[in-house]
Amino acid sequence: MGDGRLLLSEFLLVLRRRRNQVLLGLLALVTVLIGVAVDVSGPARDGEGPAFLRSITDNGLFLSFTALVVSLPVFLPLVVSVVSGESIAGEASTGTLRYLLVVPVDRTRLLVVKLLSVVLFGLLAAVLVAVVGAVVGAVLFPIGELRLLSGTTVSYGQGLLRLAGVALYVAAVLATVAALGVFVSTLTEVPIAAMAATALAVVLVEVLDAVPQLSALHPWLFTHDWLAFGDLLRDPVSVAGLGHGLLVQACWDAVLVTLAWARMTTRDVTS
């Protein structure tokens, strides 16, 4: 019970930060801009622009999928890097970590609350892009039956359900970035360093994923299966890719969270 209240107050604290609000606003803005651009310039030609861009004029719901495809490689991980890098290092830099720990708050519990609030923020960011995309898409473009990657159609309601699944998958992959960011954040007392290091690490992994000579390594990189959410848009839904993606994320999560825990519970808190 106390844990839930602690988590809620921590999450609200994260939400009240002006910087985090601006980041969420920019995410929404990107989504709106894609919608307006397509509305003004007309449908994209075949093979032009990101996946799903061509389909937006057929069904506004594709604006959500396009926006998620566009923001997943850089924008969403960057937002989560900023919030997670701040989590522990931010308290340390302002000297409040010491006071937090003077109050009898278990270090493990503090770490879990910090991590979960970042994971929740990632979920909020993914859902925000999906919802803004769906709303703007419904205003600017026709809605109705959704044509899947397999060529068959499903009802708009079923489409919304699949969009929810995609948003949850995106939130799950962002949780790995959150775990990475919180671990890096336990290593330093300089929040900006933790943010930059986390964002750079994500980009580095994405670069490794793009080097064909390292293809043996690719299935184990946490960014490799990020676009597997497309499997939710097949008929019938393909679970193998999604399952592998979630398994790899879970493995990385387990390693990163235990690393963060080991660091958090053994470090000397001097400021």
Partner 1 sequence: MMRTAVRWTIPAAVATAVIGGSLAWPSLAGAAPDLAPTTAADLMADVAGSQAQALSGTVEQTTDIGLPQLPSGAAGQDPASLTALLGGTTTARVWSDGAERSRIAVLGSLAETDVVRNGADMWTWRSGTGTVTHAVVPSGRPAAAAPGQPQLTPAQAADQALAAVGPTTQVTLGSPATVAGRQARTLVLEPKDAASLIGRVVIAVDAATAMPLQVQVFSRGSAEPAVQTGFTSVSFGAPAASEVAPALPLGSAVEEVTPQALQAQAGTVPQPTVVGSGWTSVAVLRAAGAQLGSAPSGAAGAADPTALLKAMSVPVSGAYGSGRLITSSVFSALVLDDGRVLVGAVPAPELERAAMDAAAQP
Cβ-based nearer residue to partner 1, 54 or 114: 54
* Cβ at position 34, least distance to partner 1 in Å: 15
Which residue, 74 or 254, is less far from partner 1 as judged by CB? 254
Segment contacting partner 1 by CB under 8 A, of 4-12, 20-28, 111-119, 146-154: 146-154
Told to check if 270 binds partner 1 by CB under 8 A, we report no
Burial class (CB within 10 angstroms; exposed 0-12, middle 13-18, buried 19+) of 104 = exposed
If binding is defined by CB under 8 A, does position 259 make contact with partner 1?
A: yes
Stretch that binds partner 1, among 33-41, 167-175, 185-193, 251-259 (CB under 8 A): 251-259
Is position 104 an interface residue for partner 1 (rule: CB under 8 A)? no
Residues 48-77 that bind partner 1 (CB under 8 A): 50-52, 54-55, 58, 69
Query: Residues 193-222 vs partner 1: string with x where CB under 8 A?
Result: -------------------x--x----x--
Reading phi first (left if > 0) and then psi (alpha if -120 to 50, else beta), residue 47 is in left
Write down the residue that tokens 């809605």 correspond to: 143
Rounded to whole angstroms, the Cα distance separating 56 from 140 reads 10
Residue number, 60 or 124, with CB nearest to partner 1: 60
How many whole angstroms separate alpha carbon 159 and alpha carbon 59? 10
Taking the least distance from each CB to partner 1, the nearer of 51 and 138 is: 51
Residue closer to partner 1, measured from CB, 17 or 234: 234
Cβ burial 27-61 (10 Å sphere, 16+ → b, else e): bbebbbebbeebbeeeebeeeebeebbbbbbbbbb
**Given the complex with partner 1, which of 153 and 188 has the nearer CB atom?**
153
* 158 scored as a contact of partner 1 (CB under 8 A): no
Q: For residues 228 and 242, is the Cβ–Cβ distance under 8 A?
A: yes
